[in-house]
Structure 1
Amino acid sequence: MLSEDSVFPVSGAWSPLLRVWWLRPWRPNPLLRPLDRIEAVLRIIVVVAVLVAIPVAGTLGTTAYTGAAARIRTENAAKSAVSAVITEEPQLMSSHLLEARVQWLRDGRPGTATVRVRGSAAIGDHVTVWLGPEGAPTGPPQPSNVAAMTGIGVGVVVLSGTWVVAWLLLQGTVWLLERRRRMQWDQQWRNLNRPITEDRQ
């Protein structure tokens, strides 16, 4: 009678797949130890978890993108641009950063702030200042691709995090099972190497 080993010899690129097939937990092979079956079941669970994580990460990424896009649209709609005049000499804050005091007039109400300006800015130059709903200076409107990057980031984090956790759990459990198998082998070798006189006593 031909065995699976003789029909499908372990060689080449098919070796890992054949090993997985031979170690399937439901295989009626008396040589498969309980620890081998536990490890096989664990590997199946990890594979299923990794596959399930793909659509879950996609769903969470889509949800994050939708929320971020709505938030950006709302924030951008509440921002307005005003033309401000530099009233003081720009000050060098770092090697590539200049700040200057500016003043503007909006709806008949003056406003002042210290904002970043370009390197060639001088007193009397006009700069664009973005104001929030309360009239306070804020950042410029965010581009729409920020929402896309947020969604992609969430999806990647969820997917990679799930895969890393699954891999660590698998490796840790396999290490424990392998240690248990070595202990069993040591015990069996000690039983085989007992002096014959001990069995006769």
Structure 2
Amino acid sequence: MPEAPSAVVRMWRVRPWNPNPLLRVSDRFEVLVRVLAVLAVVVAVPISGAIGTVSYTGAVARIAAQDAGKTQVTATVTADAQLLPTADHYGAQPDRYQVPVQFMFDAHARTATIELPKPKLSGSTTALWIGPEGNPTMAPARPGSAAAEGVGTGLAILVESWCATAASVWITAAVLDSRRSARWEREWRLLNRPIGKDSL
């Protein structure tokens, strides 16, 4: 019994430029699409890496500019915290509290109203980040935020490109299979005689 040809041989036989007349145009086109899809998947890796690197570099510069001049001070709570109303009635979001505070900036006392995740009583203290102008601001970005942004962007581009490539291959195969099935059905009707018209 002859051995079945290897996968490499089978792939070589269905190459788009194969002169075999039994290889249909649709088969050649489908193989070409799959070859291009493999190339797209491979090329997407370095491209996604380059985009992720650019995103990381931009994130580093942006975060450095945003965090420049931020200073942490100790603020004194001047009134009991008030629970902020929330639109979520199912408790999925954590409670937030609003509290007035007083702090020193540039040798002058300043006041502000901030939000806290936990309630504070009047007279207690809390850490507060302020910007170059002495206004309350967000805490500096965590270490690794720029790297996480760069990696996330690169992976997102890679996954999206792979999904688009897979969808293109699937759609192409589905359309070609549908066209081939319709053609086979037409040819089968031409070969078969209508029922009741057979002759001996």
Superposition TM-score tier, normalisation by shorter sequence: 0.7 to 0.9
Structure 2 length normalisation: TM-score? 0.82
**Distance in structure 2 (CA, Å) of the matches to 1:163 and 1:117:** 43
How far off is 1:55 after superposition?
0.5
Of the three residues 52, 57, 60, the one matched with 1:66 is 57
* Other structure's SS at 1:137 match: coil
Structure 1 length normalisation: TM-score? 0.82
Say if 1:45 and 1:106 are closer, same or farther in 2 by CA, change over 3 A. same
Q: Which residue of 1 aligns with 2:83?
A: 92
User: What runs of 5+ residues in structure 1 fail to find an aligned partner?
Assistant: 1-5, 196-201
**Distance in structure 1 (CA, Å) of the matches to 2:112 and 2:7:** 66
How far off is 1:159 after superposition?
0.5
Deviates more, 1:25-34 or 1:136-145: 25-34
**Distance in structure 2 (CA, Å) of the matches to 1:142 and 1:175:** 48
How far off is 1:156 after superposition?
1.1
Contact 1:72 1:144 in 2 (8 A): no
Tell me if 1:9 matches 2:8.
Answer: no
Q: Which residue of 1 aligns with 2:149?
A: 150
Over the aligned positions, Cα root-mean-square deviation in angstroms equals 2.5
Counterpart code for 1:136: N
**Distance in structure 2 (CA, Å) of the matches to 1:51 and 1:7:** 36
The number of residues matched between the two structures is 187
Q: Deviations over 1:43-83 (max 9, x none)?
A: 11111111111100000001101110121122222211222
User: What runs of 5+ residues in structure 2 fail to find an aligned partner?
Assistant: 86-93, 195-200
Of the three residues 14, 25, 29, the one matched with 1:38 is 29
- Structure showing the higher helix proportion among its residues: 1
Contact 2:81 2:119 in 1 (8 A): no
Contact 2:82 2:119 in 1 (8 A): no
How far off is 1:130 after superposition?
0.9
Say if 1:33 and 1:102 are closer, same or farther in 2 by CA, change over 3 A. same
Which stretches of structure 1, 4 residues or more, deviate above 6 A after TM superposition? Answer: none
Contact 1:117 1:127 in 2 (8 A): no
Question: Which residues of 2 match residues 13-28 of structure 1 at below 5 A?
Answer: 19-28=10-19
